[in-house]
Amino acid sequence: MSSRERILGRVRRALADAPSEDTPIERAYLREHGDRSVEETVELLAENLADYRAIVHRCTAADLPATLAGMLAARGSKTVLVPPGLERSWLAEADSEQVPDRVESTPHELDRIDSVVTACAVAVAETGTIVLDGGPDQGRRRITLVPDHHICVVRVPDQVVSSVPQALERLDPARPLTWISGPSATSDIELDRVEGVHGPRTLEVVLVDTQASLEVNS
């Protein structure tokens, strides 16, 4: 008998006493916590991101290229990794050398790059989380992992949800997903929080207000 059959057989025998009828799961929990306006939800995202030591910036769409250029310059980043589908205009004003992510690039090559700029799939206000799903403007999972500095652009308010349940609804499980809440951290040494053991030590999140730009343009 294969182990598969053995294990399934044991499980079935173990459950022989369990009645087969089933009541549906009681999902009496909330879809979101609190009653907030869109603006308040974005504000909460900013607060919770900062609370977990991400550095938060806010700007309009028109100001985004200048904002990103300024951030990279302030960090002294000579090279910046760019996912294939990143909006080209975003880095138009940046002085850093732009390195496109290629499937062939080795982890060692990625390790030598100073910064990476990506978009995101969704951001969760209540938990201060950004989620990447490997879309063209976010690139492969490794590019936001190996370089020490990650800049993530969140389109506000379209990409912001309140809660974890709302985020899961928007995401496609078939894609590789990475949820990020603040920079890499550990509390393994006497529970003292230390940032950045393995992942990027600095996470900067830019909340770019797409609505404001619409109003300005119209």
CB atoms within 10 A of CB 19: 6
Cα of first residue to Cα of last residue in the chain, in angstroms, is: 71
How far apart, in whole angstroms, are the C-alpha atoms of residue 73 and residue 121? Answer: 26
Nearer to other proteins among residue 115 and residue 181 (C-beta): 181
Nearest approach, Cβ of 88 to other proteins (angstroms)? Answer: 18
Q: What residues pair up with 58 in beta bridges, in sequence order?
A: 207
Nearer to other proteins among residue 97 and residue 188 (C-beta): 188
Strands 149-156 vs 202-209: parallel, antiparallel or unpaired: parallel
Nearer to other proteins among residue 101 and residue 209 (C-beta): 101
DSSP state of 5: H
Nearer to other proteins among residue 29 and residue 217 (C-beta): 29
Nearer to other proteins among residue 47 and residue 158 (C-beta): 47
Nearest approach, Cβ of 44 to other proteins (angstroms)? Answer: 11
Nearest approach, Cβ of 111 to other proteins (angstroms)? Answer: 6
Can you say whether the dihedral through the CA atoms of 196, 113, 179, 55 is positive or negative? positive
Buried b (16+ CB within 10 A) or exposed e, 39-52: eebbebbbebbeeb
Q: Which of 184, 118, 185 is nearest to 155 (CA)?
A: 118
Nearest approach, Cβ of 65 to other proteins (angstroms)? Answer: 25
Nearest approach, Cβ of 106 to other proteins (angstroms)? Answer: 8
Nearest approach, Cβ of 164 to other proteins (angstroms)? Answer: 5
DSSP state of 60: E
Nearer to other proteins among residue 59 and residue 121 (C-beta): 121
